[in-house]
A and B are shown apart, each in its own frame.
Chain A
Amino acid sequence: MVKKQQTWELRLYVAGKTTKSVTALENLKKYCETHLAGQYTIEVIDLLVHPQLAEGDQIFAIPTLVRKVPEPIRKIIGDLSNEEKVLVGLNIRPVKQLI
């Protein structure tokens, strides 16, 4: 199946090591390991270090998770504490069902 070869390029925008950012990253790793093992990359961008990168992905809230691939781009803002919402937001559910 084509979907199996699907990789997920995820970007997490944070601003320093705040509780929200740390929680978001932990949650994201957890979900990815559970549902997308071996199929994902996570890039963490700290806007305090690279403020110029905020404009490109239209970031205004922190933390923001951006699904770059597969298209279309999806964004999830918040500490990602609600697994259900994150999976729906990233459109992971249907894929998992296929597998």
Chain B
Amino acid sequence: MQSLLKTKTGITGLDEITFGGIPQGRTTLICGGPGCGKTLFCVEFLVNGATRYKEPGVFITFEEKAEELIKNVASLGHDLEKLQEQKKLRIDHVHIERGEIEETGEYDLDGLFIRLEHSINSIGAKRVVLDTIENLFAGLTNEGILRAELRRLFHWLKEKGVTAIVTGEQGEGTLTRHGLEEYVSDCVILLDHRVINQISTRRLRVVKYRGSAHGTNEFPFLIDEEGISVLPVTSLELNRKVSTQRISTGIASLDEMFSGKGFYRGSSILVSGMAGTGKTSIAASFANEACRRNEKALFFAFEESPPQIIRNMKSIGFNLEPYIKKGLLEFHSARPALYGLEMHLSTIYKIVKKARPAIVVLDPITNLVSVGLINEVNSMLLRLIDFLQGEGITVMLTALMKEMDERMDEGISSLVDVWISIKDIEANGERNKVLYIMKSRGMHHSNQVREFRITSKGLKLVEIYLGPSGILLGSEREEQKLQKLTGQALKEQQFRRELALRRQGNGIPKKSKQKTGK
């Protein structure tokens, strides 16, 4: 038996979650509240059909006039007028003005059928949109006739073999106000636009898809200057290729901790630590190193502005400006509260797709928590890391930890391949930073805690001194080093003195000199 044929909508992501598009030759219902993007979905469906799949389309609009529609979507780069001229698209505005219509006796909607058929035939349309047919209910009072005619219409569309989309306004507790879902049983897509914490997110869900598997989750989608894109939440596979190539962390002494080679290419690295522990510096040094290798790096800053980061990095010996000029390093900064998580995610998607970088830095991801719930942030990061790894991009995330935030840990730690933790240790009137590797998948790594130092010449890891009184850091370590040196000097002096004494006593200077040489 032949499986269900599908028609590609050409809308980014939608064809993936429906495994190939909407049912071919059948009618799909798109419903949702006002302003959720129904009309735009329809426009994209038709425009994509006309321009990419050689399927002309008919747009029957019950709401907007053709000119209005053309104007509204022009800002998204769709030139409907041109498509109409090329006979790839036909817009027909069915205007229903209750005030000028009187009803008496029996009637049917043959007029609409004839118009539709005429439009379809005149351009050989394969796609049809009725937006939104429910307006008929507002214009006509005889609901009995209307319902019978709608049933006939959907049947007729099926017979015509066109792939159709009808839209419906969402009702209270029902998918559509007038129960259109009753007639359209093949595929129903629900759009939703909600505002949580003053940040709006659009979501899409395939409520029903007869005869086909489909993603059942709610998928966030976006409307921006490039139209609609649906973001599949997670790619469903875990079988992507992995690289064994290693790339430097940008800090020689940190590379050493990863058996001298650094991270795996395409892995994800989390750098966590409290405020002021140098997370951004590590991230910048990683980006700097990538640029030095002549690889493209993207730096997403959610906290500081690019000039600020550039200035600050100069103070520790990284000059990022030449790389920016060369186009190797790109900064993208946005306040997390600027828009919702999904928008952030999709912006990152788009920028990454365009720039095709070798490495990506997100600094810091914890700031995103201010716009979303922790589990939402985690799921967003999951998708992002998933996506980046799928593209073979190495990603470094920094996270601000408040004394180890367990909730954040759980979510992210399983996602990342490498987790570097920086901690502040306060003792004897100083604060010193120590760095250690919490985990590192699939490679040998040092289990040592190192002192992490930010100097004007760059970042450095110093082996900490393990003395009889425990770990010594900062000036104590220096002191211990000095003591060791002075101790050695003293010892040497002592030895020399003894030697001199012995020489005097034994009178065999040559032999003893040789001994000391050994």
Partner-B contacts on A (CB < 8 A):
13, 15, 20, 23-24, 47-48, 51-52, 54-55, 58-64, 72-82, 85-86, 88-89
CA distance A62 to B117 in the complex (A): 15
Other 8 A-B pairs with CB < 8 A, given A48-B114, A61-B111, A73-B100: A13-B111, A60-B94, A61-B110, A62-B107, A62-B114, A64-B107, A79-B105, A82-B105
Contacts of A77 in B (CB 8 A): 101-104, 107, 140
- Taking a contact as CB atoms closer than 8 A, the residue among B95, B100, B105 that contacts A72 in the complex is B100
Chain A residues in 8 Å Cβ range of B110: 15, 47, 61-62
What separation, in Å, do the CA atoms of A75 and B140 have in the docked complex? 12
| Residues of chain A contacted by B481 (CB below 8 angstroms) | none
A60-B112, A61-B140 given as contacts; is B92 within 8 A of A55 (CB)? Answer: yes
Is there contact, CB below 8 Å, between A80 and B114? no
Task: Select which of A62, A85, A88 is within 8 A of B111 by beta carbon.
Answer: A62
Residues of B within 8 A of A24 (CB): 105
Query: Within 8 Å CB of A23, what residues of B?
Result: 105-106
B336-368 interface code vs A (CB 8 A; 1 in, 0 out): 000000000000000000000000000000000
| A47:B105 contact, CB within 8 angstroms | no
**Chain A residues positioned under 8 Å from B114 (CB to CB):** 15, 47-48, 51, 54, 62
Complex CA gap A22/B446 in Å reads 93
Asked if B109 lies at the interface with its beta carbon under 8 angstroms from chain A, I say yes
Given contacts A60-B96, A60-B115, contact A20 B108 (CB under 8 A): yes
Bound CA–CA A62/B105 (angstroms): 11
- Is B431's CB within 8 Å of the partner chain A? no
A80 touches B112 (CB 8 A): no
Q: Given the complex of chains A and B, what is the CA–CA distance between A51 and B269 in angstroms? A: 65
Closest chain A residue to B122 by CB distance?
Answer: A52
A51 neighbours in B (Cβ, 8 Å): 114-115, 117-118
Complex CA gap A74/B102 in Å reads 8
Quick check: B95 and A58 within 8 Å, CB to CB? yes
B96 proximity list for chain A (CB < 8 A): 58, 60
The residue in A23, A61, A63, A78 that gathers the most chain B C-beta atoms within 10 A of its C-beta is A61
A54 to B109, CA, bound (A): 12
A45 to chain B, nearest CB (A): 11
In Å, the complex CA distance between A82 and B105 comes to: 7
Q: Give the docked Cα–Cα distance between A52 and B118 (Å).
A: 7
Bound state CA distance, A62 and B115, in angstroms?
A: 12
- Nearest A-chain residue to B115, judged by Cβ: A54
A52–B119 CA distance with the chains assembled, in angstroms: 9
A75–B94 Cα distance when bound, in Å, is 14
A–B pairs, 23, beta carbons within 8 Å: A15-B110, A20-B105, A20-B106, A20-B107, A47-B110, A47-B114, A48-B114, A51-B115, A54-B114, A54-B118, A58-B95, A59-B115, A62-B107, A62-B111, A76-B103, A76-B104, A77-B101, A78-B103, A78-B104, A78-B106, A81-B104, A81-B106, A89-B104
**Chain B residues near A47 (CB-CB < 8 A):** 110-111, 114
Q: What is the bound-complex CA distance between A27 and B484, given in angstroms?
A: 118
Shortest CB-to-CB span from A93 to chain B, Å, is: 13
B63 shortest CB reach to chain A, Å: 14
For residue A7, give the distance in angstroms from its CB to the closest CB of chain B: 20
Q: What residue of chain A has the Cβ atom nearest to residue B117's Cβ?
A: A51
Measured between C-beta atoms, what is the minimum distance from A53 to chain B in Å? 10
User: In the complex, A55 Cα to B101 Cα: how many Å?
Assistant: 16
Which residues from A are CB-within-8-Å of B100?
72-75
Cα distance, A52 to B92, chains bound together (Å): 11
Residue of chain B at shortest CB distance from A16: B110
Contact among B94, B102, B109, B136 with A85 in the assembled complex (CB-CB below 8 Å): B102
Question: Which chain B residues (94-152) contact chain A, with CB distance < 8 Å?
Answer: 94-96, 100-112, 114-115, 117-118, 136, 140
The answer to whether A81 and B105 touch across the interface, beta carbons within 8 angstroms, is yes
**B109 and A78 contact, CB distance less than 8 A:** no
Distance A54 CA – B111 CA, assembled complex (angstroms): 7
Give CA–CA (A77, B105) in the complex, Å: 8
- Cα(A32)–Cα(B115), bound, Å: 29
